[in-house]
Amino acid sequence: MIHFRIVAPPDGARHALDLLSASSSVLNIVYLEGAARKPEGDMIMCDVAREDASVIIGDLKELGIPEQGSISAEHIDIAISDAAVAAEQAAPGLPSDAVVWEEVESRTSEDTELSFSFVLFMIAAMQIAAVAIVLDQPVLLVGAMVVGPEFGPLAGVCVALVNLQGRLARRSLLALAVAFPTGALVTLLTAVVMIGVGAFPDDFADAQHPFTEFISNPDFLSFFVALVAGSAGVLSLTSAKSGALIGVLVSVTTIPAASNISVAAAYGAWDEAGGAAAQLGINLSGIVVAGVVTLFVQRRYYVARRRRHLMDPARTRAGLPLGHSARGTASARVEGIEDR
């Protein structure tokens, strides 16, 4: 279940109240007249089945609630109620498979910020990966993958391509374009220093690393793993099962590959550096391709469902038209729905 808190002027609030009251997937509606102060207006609180959350938000947008007030949403961990069970049954699909698109956009927007901490995490992950490669320690390699923050911007690129959001795409690509070279440069300098003080072997070719040599030897399986991981990562982002994201981070080798470029360059092993660069490109491409395909399929399902919802008689209770969006064709395209 998703808990909504809606603030709107009296007229908008009454329309929203009529809409929510007529929906079979909404329950626990609380109406507080004149309770809001900034902005001034009425407050409505309710619980919505996760499967219908984005659909209901779409109707509230049609009523102009975001322009006049606000819509806040948060997850409900436990809902002990027969009415809640009935609301979930009234909404088609399973809660764990439902996508709250506004939540997806909010998550990716936060994770694509080019912040100081993001770059530091990238540097830290690549430092750990460098030691793992030189010492041939898969355990350290896994640690580097977990620390790496790169999946956030990669997911942002996928969401931006599917939803045609140019601003999100630019922010995501900027974060990747700055963080990866910065991390690689710092790792290169670290490797040179480590070689100079004797902490790393003098000759990288003599340092056998059978457990980590796959990083600089890309093949078809590298691309296949990236595809599977990219799809799983997006599914973890869009579904309620976000714990799967950790598994994704330890399944691909973006951070180790980037770090291996720097380590190999420090030793002058240019063939290995080229192989690691190819591995990095394969993984980044595979993740984005799989992520875009997965999101596109999920988005098409939502659009079809939203179109069916436009025929719901409950919309007329709030003064919304049947069969098409009240926001007009241009706004509907942004939402992924065109008037017919």
Which pLDDT belongs to residue 326? 76
22 with 76, same domain?
yes
Same domain, 199 and 246: yes
Residue 58 lies in a domain: yes
| Whether residues 71 and 124 fall in one domain | no
Is 340 contained in some domain?
no
Residues 143 and 33 in one domain: no
CA 295/CA 57 separation, integer angstroms: 19
Q: What is the rounded distance in angstroms from the CA atom of residue 265 to the CA atom of residue 180?
A: 15
Q: Which segments in the chain show pLDDT lower than 70?
A: 205-208, 240-251, 328-340
Helix or strand or coil: residue 20?
A: helix
- pLDDT given for residue 338 in this prediction: 45
- Does residue 111 lie in a domain region? yes
Show Cβ contacts of residue 273 under 8 Å, excluding neighbours closer than 6 positions: 216, 260, 261, 264, 265
Residue 222 lies in a domain: yes
Helices (H), 198-269: 220-238, 244-249, 254-267
DSSP 340: -
Domain tally, the chain: 2
Q: Which bin fits 339, alpha (ψ -120 to 50), beta or left (φ > 0)?
A: beta
For residues 113 and 94, state if they share a domain.
no
Distance from C-alpha of 208 to C-alpha of 225, rounded to nearest angstrom: 25
Residue 215 belongs to a domain: yes
- Which residues neighbour 189 within 8 Å (Cβ) at sequence distance 6 or greater? none
- Residue 223 falls inside a structural domain: yes
In this structure, the answer to whether residues 291 and 185 fall within a common structural domain is: yes
Q: Does residue 305 lie in a domain region?
A: no
Same domain, 176 and 76: no
15 shares a domain with 32:
yes
Q: 2: helix, coil or strand? A: strand
142 and 249 share a domain?
yes
Evaluate whether residue 192 is within a structural domain.
Answer: yes
User: Do 213 and 247 belong to one domain?
Assistant: yes
**What single string gives the DSSP state of each residue in 271-337?**
HHHHHHHHHHHHHHHHHHHHHHHHHHHHHHHHHHHHHHHTT-THHHHTTPPSSS-TT-HHHHHHHT-
Which residue range(s) make up the domain with 110?
104-300
Q: Phi first, then psi: what are they for 31, rounded to 5°?
A: -115, 120
Contact yes or no for 296/162 (Cβ under 8 A): yes
**Same domain assignment for residues 181 and 269:** yes
CB 152 within 8 A of CB 105: no
**CATH code at 328?**
3.30.70
Q: What torsion do the CA atoms of 116, 119, 120, 123 make, to the nearest 10 degrees?
A: -160
| Cβ-contact 305, 51 below 8 angstroms | no
Residues 80 and 7 in one domain: yes
pLDDT at residue number 205: 63
pLDDT of residue 242: 56
